Chain A
Amino acid sequence: MSDARTDIFARIREALKVKAPRPHLKAETSSPKTSVAAKPWLPDGGETIEASLQILSEQLAKLKAVLIRVPDHAAAARALAELATQKSWKKVAFHGHPMIQPLVAALPCEVWEADKSFDKQRLEGCDAGLTTCESIVAQLGSILVSSQSSGGRALSVLPHAHVVIAEVAQVVPDLGASLALAKSRHGESMPSMLSYITGPSRTGDIERILVLGAHGPKELFLILVG
């Protein structure tokens, strides 16, 4: 008996001997995209950075994510400390990144560099996870984190709140631009996980009524510098 792989490929090749008609397209489109050309039919992501930031803040508000804009990193540290006080966080796990290290020094609670000595049980007990990100998609209000930018896979999803620190320069207009950036940055060695986070974790499984914080963070904060 031949193996499953050989068999399945043989079936596919046999099946595709008869060609299927091209889909009946309603609009006049060119062939499928292989490039990262802008797609002017998707939701708008803004043509200027001001327009993008405007769209981003509207999207985040609708998603019930909190955007905190600050002029510089010193102000980011103050905003974070204020947040921790206001939410009475006791334990904050963070990703050891040069942009984050100076911020946690000012935190009025226990802090722990989670990617240095990873412990899932301990991480579960943390009130917040503090990470950077790869890029931010204005068009959809999505934040791209990766196992590299965000201290592994669990830090951005296991603690009860997630705080992302980013700079305005990381905001891109649309999803296509963000994917292209990830590809050009990492090439053939992508981080083992890349995740677009669009608002706090949610479910509508009970009577289609929206509840935040299903399994992931109940609260999502984006501290945007610049």
Chain B
Amino acid sequence: MSDSKGIFLKDATVNAADGDQRAFIRKALGGYYTNRDLQKARYRDWERARDAASMAKWSAVNDLANVLEKFVANFERNGGVVHWARDAAEARAIILKIAEDAKAKAIVKSKCMTSEEIHLNDALEKAGYGVVESDLGEFIQQLRGEAPYHFVFPCMHVKREAISELFTKHLGTAPTDSPEELTMIARRHLRQLYIDADIGITGANFLVAETGQISITENEGNARLTAALPRIHIALSGIEKVVNHLDDLSVLLPMLATAGAGQPMTCYNTLYSGPRKPGECDGPEQFHIVLLDNARTRLLADPEQRDALHCIRCGACLNVCPIFKNIGGLAYGTTYQGPIGSVITPHLRGLKQWNHLSGASSLCGACTDACPVRIDLHHHLLHNRRNAAKESPTLFDRVFHNGFNFVIKRPWLFATGGRLFRATLPLLQKLPLPYMSAWMKTRDLPKAPAKSFRDEWKNHENV
């Protein structure tokens, strides 16, 4: 068993048994469901909008080399500097080099999951830079020393009392149980940090090939400040974020907001096309973009699951996933939690260590229904299971599948086996069988029917 699987099983078991926490998560998501439905109802045809959104991403991802080339040419024409990183280590090295060349001291970041993916904060802190996360949820998680729980709602599992304690401990503020007051504490604390920072690091939600702009979506205004006040702006983005046309955003931006947070539009959707221009009074002197592969091309090479690269990271699939709601985001141990995380993590980090996530699904398909860009999420979990069984079948896979294959081809054996199985079923509850016992600890076996389906069918035919 891989380490990640062991941790997953342990955490999942503990969390699923924590009724309090589960109720808290459900309550937190309650408002989301209401608002999402209200906003979706404003679409004159949500299904057609999903078609358009998925086509916009499909046409860019399936022509990635050309579209990226166009983006890069336009980005450079606008005065930005492009860097390429094959993997996490290269991306970290590039950013460290920019910081070193700029003789920077303080760095402010706005929410960027790609930076979590490459463990950027650790690297920057080790090199002696002060790094502060400015998104409220990320700021809280940074103080807690914990990874984000949900890639859109990073600290949705933390109760206000805990946040108040955290602020008292780290910022010396008086305790309060008002979310409003807590938000204001963070606001006051961070304001001066934006002003003093030398470098602002952001992610990117979309890269627009046609104009060479990057698009950043956020609610708080922290990304706006991060890209306005420091003298250097670095954006870190996966190569798959590119879209062909500026007009694609007229579909993608509202859908991202509605699917992800039940809003008509996220509060700030900002397009950046370079450093400060002549005649502009503020903005950074340098604008860099780091384009990251980090195994995305491996996912690209699988035509069956290539559409997982269409993901716009809205988080809708997490919000509707029964597994996510029961085991919580931290149990996954991945940068991207929930259904999309379970699909892509085995590609990004290795099927062998991460295939257990393919089983973290009830296959209800709620994720696939929720996805604004129509990624076939629950089937991809099945594809991963199949691929894992093909690549390195476990003993169970081999014994079970060969056995099944043998039996199913011989009707007499199938019938005898069935009879035997029905007769011995009550025993299974008691025997400590491998694979079965863990599953049965929390479940009761149903009673075996007296007759097999085939016997019943014979009767049915005789009537």
B207 CB to nearest chain A CB (Å): 14
- B contact residues around A197 at 8 Å (CB): 267-268
- B contact residues around A200 at 8 Å (CB): 267
Per-residue CB proximity of B330-368 to A under 8 Å, as 1/0?
Answer: 000000000000000000000000000000000000000
> Is B44 an interface residue, CB under 8 A from the partner?
yes
Contact flag A42-B43 (CB < 8 Å), given A153-B224, A192-B276: yes
What residue in chain A is nearest B224 (Cβ atoms)? A157
B361 CB to nearest chain A CB (Å): 20
Contact assessment for A4 and B250 in the assembled complex, using a CB-CB cutoff below 8 Å: no
Contact assessment for B265 and A8 in the assembled complex, using a CB-CB cutoff below 8 Å: no
Contact assessment for B64 and A12 in the assembled complex, using a CB-CB cutoff below 8 Å: yes
Contact assessment for B59 and A32 in the assembled complex, using a CB-CB cutoff below 8 Å: yes
Contact flag A203-B220 (CB < 8 Å), given A20-B306, A154-B225: yes
Contact assessment for A195 and B268 in the assembled complex, using a CB-CB cutoff below 8 Å: yes
| Interface of chain A residues 156 through 214 with chain B (CB within 8 A) | 157-158, 174-176, 179-180, 182-183, 188-209, 211, 213-214
- B contact residues around A5 at 8 Å (CB): 84
Q: How far is the CA of A180 from the CA of B249 in the complex (A)?
A: 11
A138 CB to nearest chain B CB (Å): 11
A139 CB to nearest chain B CB (Å): 8
Q: Which of A34, A43, A118, A188 contacts B245 (CB 8 A)?
A: A34
Contact assessment for A29 and B153 in the assembled complex, using a CB-CB cutoff below 8 Å: no
A126 CB to nearest chain B CB (Å): 12
Q: A66-74, A79-87, A141-149: which lies at the B interface?
A: A141-149
Contact assessment for B154 and A205 in the assembled complex, using a CB-CB cutoff below 8 Å: yes
Contact assessment for A205 and B137 in the assembled complex, using a CB-CB cutoff below 8 Å: yes
Contact assessment for A193 and B269 in the assembled complex, using a CB-CB cutoff below 8 Å: no
Contact assessment for B140 and A12 in the assembled complex, using a CB-CB cutoff below 8 Å: no
Q: Which of A8, A118, A204, A206 contacts B239 (CB 8 A)?
A: A8
Contact assessment for A208 and B31 in the assembled complex, using a CB-CB cutoff below 8 Å: yes
| Interface of chain B residues 58 through 98 with chain A (CB within 8 A) | 58-59, 62-65, 68-69, 77-78, 84-86, 90
Number of B residues with CB within 8 Å of any CB on chain A:
110
Contact flag A201-B221 (CB < 8 Å), given A147-B277, A152-B280, A206-B183: yes
Contact flag A154-B247 (CB < 8 Å), given A39-B52, A44-B42, A214-B222: no
> Is B272 an interface residue, CB under 8 A from the partner?
yes
| Interface of chain A residues 30 through 46 with chain B (CB within 8 A) | 31-36, 39-44
Contact assessment for B283 and A147 in the assembled complex, using a CB-CB cutoff below 8 Å: yes
Contact assessment for B155 and A205 in the assembled complex, using a CB-CB cutoff below 8 Å: yes
Q: How far is the CA of A194 from the CA of B183 in the complex (A)?
A: 27
Contact flag A22-B250 (CB < 8 Å), given A153-B224, A205-B140: no
Q: B296-304, B401-409, B443-451: which lies at the A interface?
A: B296-304
Chain A positions near chain B (C-beta within 8 angstroms): 3-5, 7-9, 11-16, 18-27, 29, 31-36, 39-44, 59, 62-63, 114-116, 118, 120-121, 124, 139-142, 147-148, 151-154, 157-158, 174-176, 179-180, 182-183, 188-209, 211, 213-217
Chain B positions near chain A (C-beta within 8 angstroms): 28-29, 31-32, 42-52, 54-56, 58-59, 62-65, 68-69, 77-78, 84-86, 90, 134-137, 140, 153-156, 158-160, 163, 179-180, 182-184, 186-187, 190-191, 195, 211, 213, 219-222, 224-225, 227-229, 239, 244-251, 253-254, 261, 263-277, 279-283, 287, 291, 293, 297-298, 300-301, 303-304, 306-307, 374
